[in-house]
């Protein structure tokens, strides 16, 4: 793929003909001796800075996603050590997501004050440090609390990474680069089970104290932090976003940052590249977020943020926005909620039915839960169920999770190819319709391969629809509300994940068919909401 600057038509301001395309672009200047930031980026062109920053963003995204999704496997591997119930597993799986929910919306505003780069660096380092600390935690509730705090730092990454990445790219390539960065979510879905499989293939125990032994599952946390830690070390030489610096009226620092990009991309300083003696930049407008968050105290800041959020739910676009947010809530509930429990479900299903015959997924799960209790009849003929614990993980669990990651990677590619020809609403309705059908068939299909395919579609199709719905959300509100709309939609959507994680924990054992029916009905409702949205 070739990235390069693009010539614009315009009036030459007196440069020689050999200056070529440069003279044509200077018409974008508001004043004769001022340059637009977008214009300078086009002159520099897409190069090493953008490619390396894309890789860095992908590595940080991998750590961010692996830290959340790995809890599904960690919950199995640590259940005996922490002596966890199914309900406590649900709390563990949702702990980091809860931190993201309470923090992401406000992090976007904070990044407009303290800067994208500094916030991104600190949040990634804090996430890495917390992952390192949790490797040695022996109490389940302390483990969950640290994951909650880690979720807050992950919220800072989530709210800052895309603005920072986007502001180093011109408008032409911004969407493409962010789309490639999103594909690292699928990479994380492959990386996490692959590294877990490598680590948990060995069964050893290293005594640290009389009450604590270091077991292999704790190394999963180390593998989770490595990509992000490597990425943030690579990012240390990078400057702050020039666009942010210009909005902060820091002209000299902005020019220095632009000069760094020019030297890294073209091996020439920006003044020589533009054939000028001194680069003067047009100041960027002060962002609305920066204006909102510069109150005198925390109460006034929160009040300003609330006032900026309320218009999202008011006429004329409040009704459609509310429907879209409810649909996002349902998609997160159905896809991400079921996906985080997927390792547990596959691991319990791996041994098949006790009868040796094919059975539905819920039949196999019911038998698995029964095996967790050793039934003993004492001398008084009184039967007593004694819980047993098995924290082993079948190889099929890792393989099926890697297949799920590959399915998302392929799914994103196919969705990108058909979105424009078929239309957004048609793609959404088709995906959700197939998702409902997959959920219904899971109640009846007994073939192992068939169950795997249906389960992949059951999680994949609503999951792919999340990114499409976010794109639709942007079109339902005016420009000045779009950033807040996506942040609010993702925040409320993740509440669906938290609800699903805990609901599945409570219902999977006693009401397996019931929880699958609830998830399937949720996907159906999402389809109905999409049908009524003008997208």
Q: What is the 3-state secondary structure (H, E, C) of 14-81?
A: CCCHHHCHHHHHHHHCCCCCCECHHHHHHHHCCCHHHHHHHHHHHHHHHHHHHHHHCHHHHHHHCHHH
pLDDT for 4 equals 42
Q: What is the pLDDT of residue 16?
A: 41
Q: What is the DSSP string of 126-194?
A: HHHHHHHHHTT---HHHHHHHHHHHHHHHHHHHHHHHHHHHTTS-HHHHHHHHHHHHTHHHHHHHHHHH
In DSSP notation, 335-382 reads IIHHHHTHHHHHHHHTT--TTSS---HHHHHHHHHHHTEEEEE-TTS-
Q: In this predicted structure, what is the pLDDT of residue 52?
A: 94
Q: Are residues 244 and 320 in the same domain?
A: no
Residues 84 and 176 in one domain: yes
pLDDT of residue 356: 56
Q: Is residue 167 in a domain?
A: yes
Q: Is 14 left (phi over 0), alpha (psi -120 to 50) or beta?
A: left
Is there a domain that residue 13 lies in? Answer: no
Same domain, 279 and 194: yes
Q: Which of 245, 265, 285 is the last residue of a domain?
A: 285
Looking at residue 178, what is its pLDDT? 79
Low-confidence ranges of the chain (pLDDT < 50): 1-32, 376
Task: Kindly state whether residues 116 and 224 are assigned to the same domain.
Answer: yes
Half-sphere exposure of 322 (CA within 13 A, CB side): 9
Give me 265's structure tokens. 């991309």
Residue 166 structure tokens: 């986007």
How many helices (H) and strands (E) would you count in the chain? 25, 4
pTM of the complete model: 0.80
Does 14 fall in a domain? no
Judgement on whether residues 156 and 90 belong to the same structural domain of the protein? yes
Q: Measuring CA to CA, how many Å separate 124 from each of 23, 188, 225, 227, 236?
A: 42, 16, 9, 11, 12
Same domain assignment for residues 372 and 451: yes
Same domain (yes/no): 333, 259: no
Domain-embedded: residue 492 = yes
What sign results for the dihedral spanned by CA atoms 391, 393, 398, 401? negative
Q: What is the reported pLDDT for 439? A: 93
Quote the domain boundaries for residue 335: 316-378+390-534
pLDDT tens digits, 455-493 = 999 999 999 898 888 878 777 877 666 667 777 888 888
Number of domains in the chain: 2
The enclosing domain of 455 has a CATH number of 1.20.1250.20
* pLDDT at 516 (0 to 100): 94
To which residue do tokens 């319990």 refer? Answer: 348
146 and 217 both lie in a single domain: yes
Residues 321 and 418 in one domain: yes
């Amino acid at each position: 793929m070739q990235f390069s600057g693009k010539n614009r038509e315009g009036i030459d301001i007196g440069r020689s003909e050999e200056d070529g395309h440069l003279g044509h672009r200077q018409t974008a200047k508001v004043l004769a001796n001022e340059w637009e930031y977008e214009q300078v980026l086009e002159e520099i062109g897409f190069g090493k800075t953008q490619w390396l920053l894309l890789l860095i963003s992908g590595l940080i995204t991998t750590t961010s996603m692996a830290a959340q999704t790995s809890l599904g496997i960690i919950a199995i591997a640590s259940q005996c050590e922490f002596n966890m119930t199914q309900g406590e597993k649900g709390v563990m799986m949702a702990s980091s997501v809860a931190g993201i929910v309470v923090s992401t919306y406000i992090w976007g505003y904070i990044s407009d004050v303290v800067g994208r780069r500094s916030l991104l660096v600190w949040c990634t380092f804090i996430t890495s440090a917390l992952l390192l600390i949790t490797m040695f935690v022996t109490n389940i509730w302390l483990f969950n609390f640290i994951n909650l705090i880690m979720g807050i730092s992950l919220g800072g990454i989530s709210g800052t990474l895309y603005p920072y990445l986007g502001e180093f790219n011109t408008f032409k390539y911004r969407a493409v680069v962010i789309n490639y960065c999103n594909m690292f979510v699928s990479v994380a879905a492959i990386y996490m089970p692959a590294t877990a499989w490598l680590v948990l293939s060995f069964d050893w125990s290293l005594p640290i104290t009389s009450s604590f032994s270091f077991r292999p599952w704790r190394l999963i946390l180390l593998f989770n932090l490595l990509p992000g830690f490597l990425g943030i070390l690579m990012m240390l030489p990078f400057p702050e976003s020039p666009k942010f610096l210009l909005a902060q009226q820091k002209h000299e620092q902005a020019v220095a940052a632009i000069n760094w990009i020019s030297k890294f991309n073209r091996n020439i300083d920006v003044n020589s590249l533009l054939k000028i003696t001194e680069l003067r930049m047009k100041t960027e407008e002060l962002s609305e977020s920066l204006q909102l968050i510069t109150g005198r105290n925390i109460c006034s800041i929160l009040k300003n943020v609330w006032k900026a959020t309320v218009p999202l739910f008011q006429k004329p676009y409040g009704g459609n926005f509310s429907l879209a947010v409810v649909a996002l809530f349902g998609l997160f509930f159905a896809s991400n909620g079921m996906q985080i429990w997927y390792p547990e479900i596959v691991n319990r299903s791996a041994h098949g039915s006790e009868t040796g015959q094919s059975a539905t997924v819920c039949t196999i799960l019911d038998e698995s839960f029964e095996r967790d209790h050793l039934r003993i009849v004492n001398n008084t003929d009184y039967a007593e169920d004694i819980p047993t614990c098995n924290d082993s993980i079948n190889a099929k669990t890792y393989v099926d999770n890697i297949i799920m990651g590959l399915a998302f990677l392929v799914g994103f590619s196919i969705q990108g190819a058909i979105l424009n020809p078929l239309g957004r609403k048609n793609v959404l309705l088709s995906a959700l319709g197939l998702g409902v059908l997959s959920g219904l068939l899971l109640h009846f299909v007994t073939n192992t391969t068939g169950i795997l395919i249906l389960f992949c579609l059951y999680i994949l199709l609503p999951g792919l629809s999340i990114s499409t719905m976010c794109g639709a959300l942007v079109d339902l509100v005016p420009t000045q509300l779009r950033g807040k709309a996506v942040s609010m939609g993702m925040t409320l959507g993740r509440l669906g994940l938290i609800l699903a994680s805990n609901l599945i924990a409570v219902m999977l054992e006693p009401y397996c068919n019931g929880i699958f029916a609830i998830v399937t009905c949720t996907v159906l409702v999402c389809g109905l909401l999409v049908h009524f949205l003008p997208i």
